[in-house]
Amino acid sequence: MMDMSNPAVASAAAPRAVAAGPTKIGIDNLEFFYGKNRALHGVTFDIPSGAITAIIGPSGCGKSTLLRTINRIFELYPEQRATGAIMLDGRNVLDRNYNLSDLRSRVGMVFQKPTPFALSIFDNIAFPLKHYERLTRAEAHERVETSLRQAALWDEVKDKLNVSALSLSGGQQQRLCIARTLAVQPEIVLLDEPTSALDPISTAKIEELLLEQCENFTFVIVTHNLQQAARLAHRTAFMLNGELVEVGDRERMFVNPRDSRTRDYVTGRFG
């Protein structure tokens, strides 16, 4: 692993101010259980709006678990449950009464492995879109184009919108999934290692698109790539063994971590 305190690396990205908009998501004393197994221990921290928050930490520390509680996707599995509070604009999304469809329309998610549906490229985006809005054919087309452009995929697929999405390359599929997520205009987008299965060029494209779009969305990205976190994130949270160890801006996390465990991790002294 690279030494992130190396000034050369640190200065690779342009300097930036501490980007902390008002709190979008307030996570409070979150516990998560896989059956009897506890995977999160009292996680508490805030995610600012209109910024990129990165979650880092060694494998198995609970990063994915944390993301999966925010949009309650874990509820697909009856044996999994979460306690504590995740406040989204002042309401606890873990509340039973919180409308799931509403929650998920506000909190989109992109997974590690591309998950295109067995539909055409166009329908991959238009189908979820039509669930929310009544659109004419032309409007739908326009929205599809917009989101494909946002995801930097338009030029590559504009001539084959009716081709099966499964025929795209892995990197293209992932950008399609991002486009699909952006198309329904969520406020928050959760990304779980979105580039870990991709080549450097596709990765660069996706990073670019996150930076371009971060003014329109609140991004929460899990990544194993510390440079990526350093390049992208306004705020970074470090997790270890289901606990949140430290959270702060890039300067604090990569140059001057307060917790020795964070320092060990970002300097690569960790396993």
Kindly list the residues in this chain that would bind other proteins in the complex (CB under 8 A): 12-14, 16-17, 19-24, 48-52, 71, 73, 76-79, 100-106, 108-109, 111, 113, 115, 117-119, 127-128, 130-134, 177, 180-181, 184-185, 187, 204, 207-208, 211-212, 214-216, 218, 231-232, 234
Give the footprint of Mg ion on residues 39-78 (CB under 5 A): 64
Site string for ligand ATP, 182-211 (x = CB under 6 A): ------------------------------
Please give the single-letter amino acid code of residue 230: A
CB contact set of 4 (below 8 Å; sequence gap of 6+): 10, 226, 227, 230, 254, 255, 266, 267, 268
> Per-residue x/- marks for ligand ATP, 6-35, CB under 6 A?
----------------------------x-
Residue 13 binding: pick among ligand ATP, other proteins, Mg ion, none (C-beta 5-8 Å cut-off by kind): other proteins
Q: How far apart are CA 58 and CA 120, in angstroms?
A: 37
Question: Closer CB to other proteins, residue 127 or residue 270?
Answer: 127
Dihedral (CA of 67, 72, 77, 80) sign: positive
Q: Cβ of residue 192: shortest distance to Mg ion, in angstroms? A: 6
Q: Smallest gap, in angstroms, from Cβ of residue 61 to ligand ATP?
A: 4
Q: Calculate the CA dihedral of residues 170, 173, 178, 182 and round it to 10 degrees.
A: 170
Region of 88 on the Ramachandran plot (φ > 0 left; ψ -120 to 50 alpha; else beta): beta
Q: Which does 55 bind (CB under 5 to 8 A by kind): other proteins, ligand ATP, Mg ion, none?
A: none
Per-residue b/e over 45-76, b at no fewer than 16 CB within 10 Å? bbbbbbbbbbbbbeeebbbbbbbbbbbbbbee
Nearer to ligand ATP, 61 or 253 (CB): 61
Query: Scanning the structure block, which residue is given the tokens 């309401």?
Result: 91
Q: How far is the CB of 192 from other proteins (least distance, A)?
A: 10
213 binds, among other proteins, ligand ATP, Mg ion, none (CB under 5 to 8 A by kind): none
Rule CB under 6 A: say whether 65 interacts with ligand ATP: yes
Residue 158 is classified by DSSP as T
Q: Is 17 exposed, middle or buried (0-12, 13-18, 19+ CB in 10 A)?
A: exposed
**Beta bridge pairs of residue 238:** 56, 246
* Gap between the Cα atoms of 18 and 253, Å rounded: 12
Among 37, 83, 216, 260, binds ligand ATP (CB under 6 A): 37
> Which one of 54-62, 116-124, 155-163, 205-213 is the stretch in contact with ligand ATP (CB under 6 A)?
54-62
| Cα gap 254→271, rounded to integer Å | 17
Q: Which residues bind ligand ATP (CB under 6 A)?
A: 34, 37, 39, 57, 59-65
Q: Which residues bind Mg ion (CB under 5 A)?
A: 64
